[in-house]
Amino acid sequence: MSDDETQKLEEMVGLLKSQLMVKPKDAHKRYQLGSAYHRLGKLELAEKAYSRAAKLKPDHYPSLFGLGKVHLAREEWHEAVEALKQATVAKPERLEGQNELGRVALRVEAWDIAARALHEVAKLDESGEVPDAPALAGDAYVKVQEHAEAVDAYERAIKLHPDEPGILLKLGREYNAVQDWSAAQRTLRSLTHIDDGNTEGFKLLGAACCELKEDEPAIEAYRRALELDPDYLRGHMAIGEVYEKTDQDELALNSYKVALRFLPEDHGIHFKLGRVLKRLGKCGEA
């Protein structure tokens, strides 16, 4: 800040203080005083002025937002969350308030607050000014296991970043969580087309195909997942079940045998293995 700007702000402070001696309950003047102190870097005086303005007018958004920014400047994260929460209650349509609240809430791991604030940012941000907000909102919703809301947030994110593998994976995972298997399959196919080495994508795609009773696509997805991760126990079990369902008993047997190496005492695997051996007429091996 230049010397001229500093001098003008100091003069403004003097003028506002004089005016407040006449009208001490003028909330807007109190806010202006806080803003001038804030710009001068006098945070304690700014906090005092903003707080007084907010007491005079509890729904005065500029004062509440300014108070939140003072706390941010002093790295008082929890106090910032509280002030910014009040600001967004006063003016929920203000993008900058929701954005600041969402980001500081992420910092203190207040996932529910972060999710809702950043989701509001995504809805309000028609110009794409804050392009990472939808994905961050989705991540926060996942933390609190609100999967339907996470889907909405990630759908907004993928419109902004249509070929981003990370977002496609998260969206596919959340579609699986809400049991929208067709949407999951569509999304995960897009992901694995873009990234043929995405192990988690193929795992999730296999699960979605199984739920849709599409056996050959399920087998194809699980085969690729197992190529990428040979120790994927659930994949060996799942592909074995599909092989068994499609009367490919020798392949099912091999899959269950591999699974048994990981969990040699597992009764479920022994049961399935025995069932396939009987179907193959190898009861002596069961």
Nearest-CA neighbor of 134 among 107, 164, 90? 164
User: Do 64 and 99 form a contact (C-beta atoms < 8 A)?
Assistant: no
List helix spans (H) across the chain. 3-22, 27-39, 43-56, 61-73, 77-90, 95-107, 111-124, 133-143, 147-160, 165-177, 181-194, 199-211, 215-228, 233-245, 249-262, 267-279
User: Do 98 and 118 form a contact (C-beta atoms < 8 A)?
Assistant: yes
Q: Is the pLDDT reported for residue 286 higher than 60?
A: no
- pLDDT one-digit tens code per residue, 238-261: 999 999 999 999 999 999 999 999
What pLDDT sits at residue 1?
72
Q: Give the Cβ contact number of residue 196 at 10 Å.
A: 11
If DSSP states are collapsed to H, E and C, what string results for 215-269?
Answer: HHHHHHHHHHHHHHCCCCHHHHHHHHHHHHHCCCHHHHHHHHHHHHHHCCCCHHH
Predicted TM-score (pTM) of this structure? 0.88
Is the Cα dihedral 165, 171, 174, 180 positive or negative? Answer: negative
Instruction: Report residue 33 as tokens.
Output: 């005083």
Sequence-distant (≥ 6) Cβ neighbours of residue 163 within 8 angstroms: 194
Going by pLDDT thresholds of 50, 70 and 90, the confidence category of residue 166 is very high
204-216 average pLDDT score? 97
- pLDDT one-digit tens code per residue, 51-74: 999 999 999 999 999 999 999 999
